A = this chain, B = another copy of it.
Amino acid sequence: MITTEIKNKLIEIVGTTYVFTDDETLNDYGKDHTEDFVFPPNIVVKPASTEEVSGIMKLAFEYEIPVVPIGARTGLSGGILALHKGIGLSLERLNKIEKIDEENLQVIIQPGVITEVLQNAVAQKGLMYPVDPSSKGSCFIGGNIAENAGGARAVKYGVTKDYVLNLEVVLPNGEIIWTGANTLKNATGYNLTQLIVGSEGTLGIVTKIVLKLIPAVQHNVLLLVPFFKMEQAAAAVSAIFKAGIVPSALEFMERDAIDWTMKFTEVPDLNLKPEIEAHLLIEVDGNYPEVLMSEAEKILSVVEEYEIDEMLFADTQDQKNALWKLRRNVAEAVKQNTVYKEEDTVVPRYELPKLLIGIKAIGEKYGFKSICYGHAGDGNLHVNIVKLDMPDELWKSEVPKGVKEIFELTKSLNGTISGEHGIGLVQKEFLPIVFSDTELNLMYQIKKIFDPKNIMNPGKIFPSTYQH
């Protein structure tokens, strides 16, 4: 597919140093954090500018070569896997923070900037970019936009889409567009910006981003509340909001999530009573410590209505870091311990107990165990279905049936099949559970407008029946 002629043309565009065809590189750029999938592209290129990205796309368009935009490869739905081979286009060299605009509380940034690098850079100016995916230390802003990433603080501050004001996008034919304006309000034409956010690299390649920032918040308080009953932990989530509190994070971890994390990663032991079934990790933030203490007290009075053990109040930054590390390491702990599949269910938050009970029942039915944790404040529950000693045949035959039922359950609870990980490769066949043919057809026709030759990350999002 990639002839010497095409390779030479790519070298002309990005320089010989930034074109790779060795197996190691192809392999590296053919996998992300989704299970153990590897789909290497034929060639990896690393452009350094919008113009270079445009040049690559013009070439790909002319020769009808599939192109996969590649970020930090931390995705959990297989968005960067080169299912149809072709060009792996890494955005890692577009990694500049072009301008922190302290006057307008905005930042202009390239897609290859690591989320935490951005957060730290704006924090030095007294500003905050609050979107906080668990992989923030390694994921790229560009990937966050592709998947509409969320994270723990979304419950108060919103997700990636809520901070994206304007995008420079290279279209599949190489043309360069801007989607909107650098303004907080906009009622000018269709919202192309929000059409691109969450489109998983299937409509074009984002090469520049204008993000909204907010003034930095000075203080926070962090509580860990152990619940004797898992469903009560889930129920307490909406009770906290009903009390008028909007926490800056409200995370749920079932017992195994904590046990595995304590066992397999470097976090302090909490010496839990054996009867504890789940925890809520609750943060409130603001600029007035006395207000935070009052909110913490209100939260305490809410959770005390349930069967809880002694609450842990993180006093120091070290204690806070330790608790957050515990939460952020859950995925890693599962990964180190067993083969698994991660589902990214999301429902209105009051439906969480029903979702959780339903997931456990479905697991019983099909013979698999699951470890559930996630952003309960948003109703976003990560379901890690763990293989452990489940026989291979059953893993292959039964788990997909269970996943399908879990997704049908989320739909019946007015939820959907991905809150923040995207559909990518691994969830695409399940999409008809939540969208009708008419709805999927509208989306697929939009795809064809942007990408008439189907070269832009082909094979993603849409079920196989739509891939033509």
Contacts and interface: CB of A to CB of B under 8 A. Distances in A.
Contacts of A178: 439
A276 interface: no
Contact of A442 (B294, B431, B450): B450
A216 interface: yes
Interface in A174-209: 175, 177-192, 194-195, 197-199
B187 A148 contact: yes
Contacts of A414: 181-183
A104 B349 contact: yes
Given A105-B241, A214-B246, A244-B287, A188 B445 contact: no
Given A192-B443, A215-B241, A420 B187 contact: yes
A346 B216 contact: no
Interface in A108-135: 126
A102 interface: yes
Contact of A190 (B190, B214, B215, B446): B446
B188 A197 contact: no
A177 B244 contact: no
Q: How many copies does the complex hold?
A: 2
Contacts of A175: 438
A103 B238 contact: yes
Contact of A186 (B182, B416, B445): B416
Contacts of A187: 147-150, 198, 344, 418-423
A100 to B, nearest CB: 13
B442 A192 contact: yes
B148 A419 contact: no
B348 A416 contact: no
Interface stretch (A6-14, A155-163, A258-266): A155-163
A368 B347 CA distance: 54
B461 A189 contact: yes
Interface in A268-305: 287-288, 291, 294
Given A191-B194, A192-B442, A415 B183 contact: yes
The residue in A154, A161, A450 that gathers the most chain B C-beta atoms within 10 A of its C-beta is: A161
A2 interface: no
Contacts of A442: 177, 192, 449-450
Interface in A317-371: 344, 346-351
Interface stretch (A28-36, A220-228, A373-381, A384-392): A373-381
When A and B form their complex, which 7 residue pairs have the shortest distance between CB atoms, in order from nearest?
A194-B194, A181-B416, A103-B350, A185-B419, A104-B348, A182-B414, A215-B244
